[in-house]
Amino acid sequence: MKLVDRPIARSELKQLAEKKFGNFVKAVVDLEQKIMAIDADLHADEESLLLEKGAKQEDLWGINLYPELTGEDFIEFDSMINLRPAQGNRSRNVEDPAVRQKVASIVHSLIKA
């Protein structure tokens, strides 16, 4: 598991993917601190790491990153940690377009070509 608070290369993300799941890496993004945790077996493990680093639950969103894909296919907004009826998110997806945009913006600032 790795905390990403500075930009990393997409090639590094690809290497992590190949070692664990083949073609993707699990990640949890902290909207407030603009950081993310990557490369764990479960989004919940990454979520725990970020909570230990001072994150607030409501700012954390789970995603999957596909380093060989581009555009909208690069980020998959799907994780069990996203099930938050109290926040209006009733599925594993990130339903709010504004939240999706914030997540994507942070990811693109932390993953470089």
Helix (H, G, I), strand (E, B) or coil at 5: coil
Two tokens at 70? 């581009």
HSE of 4, CA atoms in CB hemisphere, 13 A: 28
Cα-Cα-Cα-Cα dihedral sign, residues 81, 99, 33, 3: positive
With a cut of 90, say whether residue 113 has pLDDT above it.
no
Backbone φ, ψ for residue 109 (5° rounding): -75, -25
- Average pLDDT of the residues in 14-19: 97
Do the bridges between strand 25-30 and strand 35-38 make them parallel or antiparallel, or are there none, so unpaired? antiparallel
- Average pLDDT of the residues in 52-80: 97
Segments making up each domain of the chain, as ranges: 2-112
Report the chain's mean pLDDT, rounded to a whole number.
97
- Average pLDDT of the residues in 16-36: 97
The per-residue pLDDT for range 90-103, each reduced to its tens digit, is: 999 999 999 999 99
What pLDDT was estimated at residue 89? 96
What pLDDT was estimated at residue 72? 93
What pLDDT was estimated at residue 5? 97
Residue 32 near residue 59, CB atoms below 8 Å: yes
